[in-house]
Amino acid sequence: MKIIELFYRKKSREGKSDHTIQNRIAFQGGSYSLIITFIVLAILIALNILVSSIPSAYTRYDISSAKLYSITSNTKVVVNALEKDVTIYWIVQSGEEDDVIENLLSKYESLSEHVEVVKKNPDIYPTFAEQYTSEEVANNSLIVECDEKSRYISYDDIYISEANMATYSYDNSFDGEGAITSAIDYVVSEEQPQLYVLEGHGEAELPEAFREQIEKENIELNTFSLLNEDSVPEEADCILIYAPSSDISEEEKNLLSDYTENGGKLMVLAGPTQDGTLTNLYSLLSDYGIEAEEGIVVESDREHYAFQAPYILLPDISGSEITDPLLEENYYVIMPIAQGMTVKSSGKGTVTELLTTSDSSFSKIDGYDLTSYEKEDGDIDGPFTLAVSIACENDGQIIWFASSEFLNDTYNSYSSGANLDLGMNALSSMFGENEAVSIRSKSLNYNYLTISDSTSAILKTVMIGIFPLVYLGIGIGVILRRRKQHESV
């Protein structure tokens, strides 16, 4: 009995000793894990502090389809070239900051040490904006200032909503970059390009969208008449003739011809009128081998006209520095009520055809009095040229669009803005390189994925039925495997 008692005491001591060793090992392992955890946490905190000190422009990647959080190379060129200090005042109440605008402003600050963003809370500075604008200033509006020049950018100029006549809805876009870069270019520039618009021939008012885009690109608008001038004003960088309803005189034609041959820039938007062709005006093109045909151009090829109206043309676009941006984005240009032009082989200067009709087009000589879209006796066979760019002597230039309605706001909306883009590309080419222009606004419209009913049913079956059953089976399998392992031990 004594031997058995001693045996059990020994076993008890050995059990206690093993238990103590196990506890010691567990304690050491737990302490080691705790130390490692503290070290990892310290490293993560240090990394977060380090990354937070880096400008957000270098730590955020833009994966949005419209590149809403990115800036273009145009902006980088303008901002990197700054030699003057520019201040961007952000008018916003505390807690009402727009995240997209905040991200955009941080990118401007990171690009140049000459750009500073200053937040102005209207609750604290209620009269600050009054020295820059008389408009009612909404939250997230901006004021860009350099020296004595400034420009106010309203919230509605950043987030734009425009009616889309083709879809009977509104297109929403973000134009923050275009507005800010244009404002910076404006306040740091000592002189602005001068555009002179001809008057005295029943010219139409410039369309609102066209006028706004001209102002955005920092081009100053002036009006003049050749009826009381002996020459084109010397300060004019470009002459615009927009939608005249009556012809110019022979004397005016000669003045404009001399102007372009001596290095002047001329842009014309003129189509057929109620009285027919503007003979003197179109004679400006005759020296370059271009003739205007009578009547209104009509298309018989269904692929080359829109809205079941054969006179609302969808011309072919030829490649050039003016049209390439539209070709790259697969845009269509709409040319309504157009005058047909024919480019002859002979003529001075270099003529580039920008827009042309199909071979099945023809010109209805009855013009506005036409009663049928069918080809009749006397109608003139196409194809026709609807827009040209002419390189004249002494670096002069003429760009001609054979439609007075080309930049009309309605037709521009039908073309999703392509008409305005083409018109502004043409105008900008006459003023030379300007990096601040042609920054297209970024669409905020959603692109929906449309799928068939059969595909929808398959996706529902897979997502609601098959996937849950697969995950349930995997879970049961893991539980059974662990139970077997435990029983074998």
Cα–Cα distance measured from residue 309 to residue 329, given in angstroms and rounded to the nearest whole number: 25
Cα–Cα distance measured from residue 20 to residue 100, given in angstroms and rounded to the nearest whole number: 61
Check residue 133 and give its pLDDT. Answer: 87
- 86-91 and 141-146 as β-strands: parallel, antiparallel, unpaired? antiparallel
- Would the CATH topology of 63-190 be identical to that of 193-443? no
One pLDDT digit (tens) per residue for the chain, 489 residues: 555 554 445 555 555 555 566 556 655 656 666 787 778 888 888 877 776 666 555 555 554 555 556 677 778 888 888 888 899 999 999 888 888 888 888 888 888 889 899 999 988 988 888 888 888 888 899 999 998 888 898 888 888 776 665 556 666 778 888 888 888 888 888 788 889 999 999 999 999 889 988 888 888 899 999 888 778 888 889 999 999 999 999 999 999 999 998 899 999 999 898 887 788 999 998 888 899 899 999 998 888 888 888 999 999 999 888 888 888 878 889 999 999 999 987 668 788 999 999 999 999 888 888 888 888 888 899 899 999 999 988 889 999 999 999 999 888 888 878 898 899 889 888 887 554 445 665 655 544 454 455 666 787 788 787 878 887 788 888 787 777 777 665
Q: To which residue do tokens 């920092």 refer?
A: 218
What residues are paired with 142 via a beta bridge?
90, 153
Residue 62 · residue 93 · CB < 8 Å:
no
> What residue segments make up the domains of the chain, in order of their start?
2-53, 63-190, 193-443
Beta strands in 357-419 (DSSP E): 362-364, 380-381, 385-391, 397-401
Residue 319 · residue 389 · CB < 8 Å:
no
Check residue 435 and give its pLDDT. Answer: 47
Q: Hey, what amino acid is at 315? A: P
CA atoms 250, 251, 254, 256: torsion sign: negative
Question: Which CATH code is given to the segment(s) 63-190?
Answer: 3.40.30.10
Check residue 83 and give its pLDDT. Answer: 87
| Encoded tokens for 410 | 């309605």
Residue length of the chain: 489
Cα–Cα distance measured from residue 139 to residue 141, given in angstroms and rounded to the nearest whole number: 6
The pair phi, psi for residue 138, each rounded to 5°, is -90, 160
Cα–Cα distance measured from residue 278 to residue 425, given in angstroms and rounded to the nearest whole number: 25
Per DSSP, the three-state class of 159 is strand
Architecture of the domain defined by 193-443: 3-Layer(aba) Sandwich (3.40)
Per DSSP, the three-state class of 135 is coil
Identify the DSSP state of 263: T
| Encoded tokens for 166 | 């083709």
With 0-12 CB in 10 A as exposed, 13-18 as middle and 19+ as buried, what is 259? buried
